[in-house]
């Protein structure tokens, strides 16, 4: 009888473990959810740990039907961590509903401080004692002890040293690292200096470095995704969370143009209400899933409403060949030896290099043969 009871307990434990890890598939998954005009993403580690990045209410429908149903169909019944970028309705409005359906087990990381309004108070009540104030440099490791951990690192919070009271500027931003793969998720981080906004992106970009996937800040508003950010982070894929008929003109024409010039292919959750998507450069895809296998040199992007695409992981490419011999600005009539100190004065977006002198340009007379 005792043996039967022990066997029953073991079977039950195995069944519960299988249920908890039912959404895991041995790969890193990042699901960028279509929540309408809002934001929300869920990360599932290869071994089944789950992190929620924001869960906002759609600013038109004012409900949580989309994120709740999507998490339910994934089989997610609990969250290991919650990461909150900032306290706007379209980023935290559905947190109480989501946590009622899938309780958080560990920490709910946010930027600390407070914010006026009932939405923020409901958020506080929902996360309760799980709330933890994040600081730049903080890390969360998933699948710890495995050969292929997932590392989430906080790279910006509360303006990253820039004095500002704009809630978007204060967004908490993180990088996700899995092998050579890198992604960045930064809420509504700003990259513009106006009467209302401060440029946070330019100062944070060096802390982020090159990435493969960029969760486009602020729904691709005109105040996000500046040239310096793109020149430093060099993403191949941009995910834009935007809603049909939104009142903000997202995605904005200038934001999208900067992404296109930077060679970024974008995937939108909905059509938006700004510029029209351009064939071959923009995909309107609904829920968008990025997957990376352990040790892979490629990753996939699978929109629910479009075919899957495969991309090389930038850091996993072939080793670099010999360093180029010459460098120049696309806007200058001069060129330099690549090791010359004058090359440091060329902005990244204008810098070009090659093994032979460029046609139509003259060697800078102050650029010595030794290259110093």
- Summarised one tens digit per residue, pLDDT across range 298-308 is 999 999 999 99
Tokens of 236: 């191949």
The answer to pTM > 0.85 is: no
Exposure class string for 142-152: b at 16+ Cβ within 10 A, else e: bbeeeebbbeb
Tell which residue, 69, 67, 80, 91, has the closest CA to residue 21. Answer: 80
Residue 27 pLDDT > 80, yes or no? yes
Percent of the chain with pLDDT strictly greater than 70 = 89
Reported as half-sphere exposure (CB side, CA atoms, 13 A), residue 198 has a value of 16
Q: What is the DSSP letter of 58?
A: P
Residue 7 pLDDT > 70, yes or no? no
Strands 108-110, 81-83: pairing is parallel
CA distance 140 to 130: 15
Higher-confidence position of 350 and 4: 350
Confidence (pLDDT) at 340: 79
pLDDT, tens digit, 9 for 90 and up, residues 78-103: 999 999 999 999 999 999 999 999 99
By mean pLDDT, which of 40-54, 59-73, 77-91, 215-229 is the weakest?
A: 59-73
With bands split at pLDDT 50, 70 and 90, how would you rate the model's confidence at 16?
A: very low
Q: Which residues, in sequence order, are CB contacts of 102 under 8 Å at separation 6+?
A: 50, 52, 71, 76, 77, 78, 79
């Amino acid at each position: 009888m005792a043996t039967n009871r022990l066997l029953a307990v073991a079977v039950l434990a195995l069944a519960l473990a299988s249920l908890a890890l039912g959404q895991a598939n041995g790969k890193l998954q990042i699901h960028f959810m279509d929540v309408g005009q809002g934001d929300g993403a869920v990360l599932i580690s290869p071994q089944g740990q789950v992190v929620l990045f924001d869960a906002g209410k759609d600013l038109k429908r004012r409900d949580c039907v989309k994120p709740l149903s999507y998490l339910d169909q994934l089989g997610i019944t609990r969250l290991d961590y919650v990461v909150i970028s900032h306290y706007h309705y379209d980023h935290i409005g559905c947190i109480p509903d989501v946590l009622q359906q899938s309780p958080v087990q560990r920490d709910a990381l946010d930027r600390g401080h407070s914010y006026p309004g009932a939405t923020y108070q409901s958020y506080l009540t929902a996360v309760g004692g799980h709330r933890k104030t994040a600081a730049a440099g903080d890390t969360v490791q998933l699948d710890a002890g495995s050969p292929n951990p997932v590392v989430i690192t906080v790279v910006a919070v509360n303006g990253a040293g820039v004095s500002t009271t704009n809630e978007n500027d204060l967004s908490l931003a993180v990088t996700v690292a899995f092998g050579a793969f890198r992604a960045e998720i930064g809420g509504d981080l700003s990259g513009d200096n106006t009467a209302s906004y401060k440029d946070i992106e330019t100062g944070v970009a060096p802390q982020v470095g090159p990435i493969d996937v960029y969760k486009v800040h602020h729904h691709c508003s005109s105040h996000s995704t500046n040239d310096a950010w793109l020149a430093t982070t060099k993403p191949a894929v941009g995910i834009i969370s935007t809603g049909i008929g939104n009142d903000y003109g997202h995605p904005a024409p200038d934001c999208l143009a900067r992404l296109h010039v930077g060679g970024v292919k974008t995937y939108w959750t909905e059509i938006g209400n700004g510029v029209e998507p351009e064939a071959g450069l923009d995909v309107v895809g609904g829920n968008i899933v990025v997957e990376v296998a352990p040790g892979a040199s490629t990753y996939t992007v699978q929109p629910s409403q479009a075919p899957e695409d495969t991309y090389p992981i930038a850091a996993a490419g072939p080793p670099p060949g010999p360093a180029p011999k010459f460098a120049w600005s696309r806007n200058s009539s001069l060129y330099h030896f690549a090791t010359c100190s004058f090359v440091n004065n060329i902005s990244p977006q204008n810098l070009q290099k090659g093994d032979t002198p460029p046609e139509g340009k003259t060697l800078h007379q102050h650029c010595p043969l030794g290259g110093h």
